[in-house]
Every structure is written in structure tokens, then in C-alpha cells.
Amino acid sequence: MQKKAIRIIGVPIDLGADRRGVDMGPSAIRYAGLNGRLKRLGWDVEDHGNLEVPVPETREIKDKRLKYLEEIVTINEGLHLIVSEAIKDGVVPLIIGGDHSLGIGTLAGLALDNRSFGLIWFDTHGDYNSLDTTASGNIHGMPLAVANGVGAPELTSIGGIRKKLREENTVIIGARDMDPQEKEQLRQTKITVFTMRDIDQIGMTEVVTQSIKIASQGTDGVHVSFDMDVIDPEEAPGVGTPVPGGVTYREAHLAMELLADSGCISSMDFVEVNPILDHQNKTAKLAVGLICSAFGERIF
């Protein structure tokens, strides 16, 4: 990746999840030294600050099947324009959250002007629920489906393009906790899913190598979306939906190092850091380390 400017965009949203606290994720990541470490790697860093996000206590849930729908639509409408502007300005957008519902706006922004991009989605969950399959009504479990044109019209219409991604260029890495109907919906797509069993069997190197090939084939770049709950809770306790048996510390860094080596990353988001559930900012510090590995930091 040719070094240029990185534009950091904070989205302190926790409206998409039941557990409070991820709204403080952007602050925790910045506090862990993100800007300074990226600058030391030779990157120009522009910090856009945070989008304005209402707190849940000032809003009411109008539909329990799609909690805080109006607010999440408004936030992602704003985010997609900011992300698109970053691409037009020739800088790398780095979105820090916040819950994964922000992925709706990020992917909408990347898809504007008929841009083609591959997608590598690190996540314990499939994030492929919709109004018809969700058990919780939490929109942070829906962004991948929304980006594929599946879901409430208010969400899929953001950016004016219903289908934002190419299924054949989309990969999920690290899945280990998906709802039954969500699994079935994903099986009907061309999205590639590497579960934790796949990582156990063939190793992270092969999984990432295959993922890069899939995501970069015929695209202008690859967006990496990294949900910190993909990492084992022993290493990343500060997440809202921890599930045992996740990616190890070194597997996560190796994945980022391989992505950096490929030069394919054109944009990135890191989400679901919850300082309330963390220990001495451990998860945010790990997030910063992984981001820096993705942007060229090396052991030697």
C-alpha cells in the first residue's frame, strides 16, 4: 500500500446493540495512541472527529424488530457521505466505532459512483439478519445483509444503491456464532464464509491468502471490517457480545500483516470496542496494534 493520508472517522454509536458502552469505543481507541502510532509509521493522519450520535435515553424504540431505526438511518446517511468524500479526496477512510451498524453507512459510501470493492469481514457473527430473521431487533446484526440489498428499505436505500457489494468478492472470517435462519440466508448467497473450524484446519495464513484472492479479484480495492468480538475474549474482553473460542492474538496480527503485505486495503473499520467491559483498555490497545499492523507496522 502506497502511504498517503488516513482519515480517522469516529462513530460513537451504540443504538444498534442492547449492551451500552461501545459509544465510548472511539475515545478508547484514540486514547490507546492510534494517531501517534500511525504517524510514526509515516502516514499523514487527519482526524475528522466524531459524528454526532444521540444517546438512547433521549430516544424511544418505536419498533422492537428494528430498534432505533430512524436514528440509525440518519447516522448512516451522514456517514456514507463522509466516507465517499474521503475516497474522492484520495485518502484512506478508517472508521472507528461504535457498534457494527455503522457498516451500513461505510459500505454505502464505498459503493457510490459505481465503485467496485471487495470486502473481508472479520466477525464472530454473520451480521446477515433482517426483519424476517432477527431475534433481538438489534441492527448491528444486520449490516452485511443490508449491504447486499436484504432488509428494511429505509436501510437498503441509503446512498441510493440497493446492493452495495459483490457477493463473489465478499468473505467472512472467524464466524462461530450464527442464528439458524441467518446461516440459511448466507448459504443462498455467493459469500464465502471461513469459520473458526476452517482456521483451525488450514490455518490463518491460508484463510487470509484465499480471502485476499477472492476479495481483490476484479475490484478496485478491499475494505476490511474488523469486529473485535472475532478475537477470543481472553485477549479482547471489552466487547459487547463475547463468544469463547475465537481468533488468537497472533492469528489476528498475522491476518493484518498479510493484508498489509498484499497492498489491497483501500479502507477499514474497527468496531465493537466496549470500554465498560474492558480491563485497563486492553481491547482498545489491541485494536490499535492490529490497525497499525494492517498499515505496515512490523516486528522486525
Is 229 known to be catalytic? yes
**Residues in Cβ contact with 47 at an 8 Å cutoff, skipping those fewer than 6 apart:** 7, 8, 30, 35
pLDDT in tens, 64-104: 999 999 999 999 999 999 999 999 999 999 999 999 999 99
CB atoms within 10 A of CB 56: 16
Dihedral (CA of 225, 215, 177, 186) sign: positive
pLDDT in tens, 7-59: 999 999 999 998 899 999 999 999 999 999 999 999 999 999 999 999 999 99
pLDDT at 3: 65
CA distance 76 to 141: 15
Q: Which of 125, 182, 223, 232 is catalytic?
A: 125
pLDDT in tens, 100-149: 999 999 999 999 998 999 999 999 999 999 988 999 999 999 999 999 99
Is 125 known to be catalytic? yes
| Assigned C-alpha cell, 116 | 467496485
Task: Give the CATH fold of the 5-294 domain.
Answer: Arginase; Chain A (3.40.800)
Is 113 known to be catalytic? no
The residue count of the chain comes to: 300
Is 253 known to be catalytic? no
pLDDT in tens, 100-109: 999 999 999 9
pLDDT in tens, 171-214: 999 999 999 999 999 999 999 999 999 999 999 999 999 999 99
Q: Which of 14, 71, 99, 140 is catalytic?
A: 140
Q: Which residue has the cell 469459520?
A: 195
Residue 159 contacts residue 111 (beta carbons within 8 Å): yes
What is each CA distance from 146 to 54, 226, 230, 289, 290, in whole angstroms? Answer: 22, 17, 20, 29, 27
Is 127 known to be catalytic? yes
Among residues 189, 292, 151, which one has the least CA distance to residue 141? 151
Is 140 known to be catalytic? yes
Q: What ranges do the domains of the chain cover?
A: 5-294
What is each CA distance from 296 to 86, 161, 197, in whole angstroms? Answer: 20, 33, 28
Q: Which of 23, 99, 182, 229 is catalytic?
A: 229
Q: Which of 71, 227, 232, 297 is catalytic?
A: 227
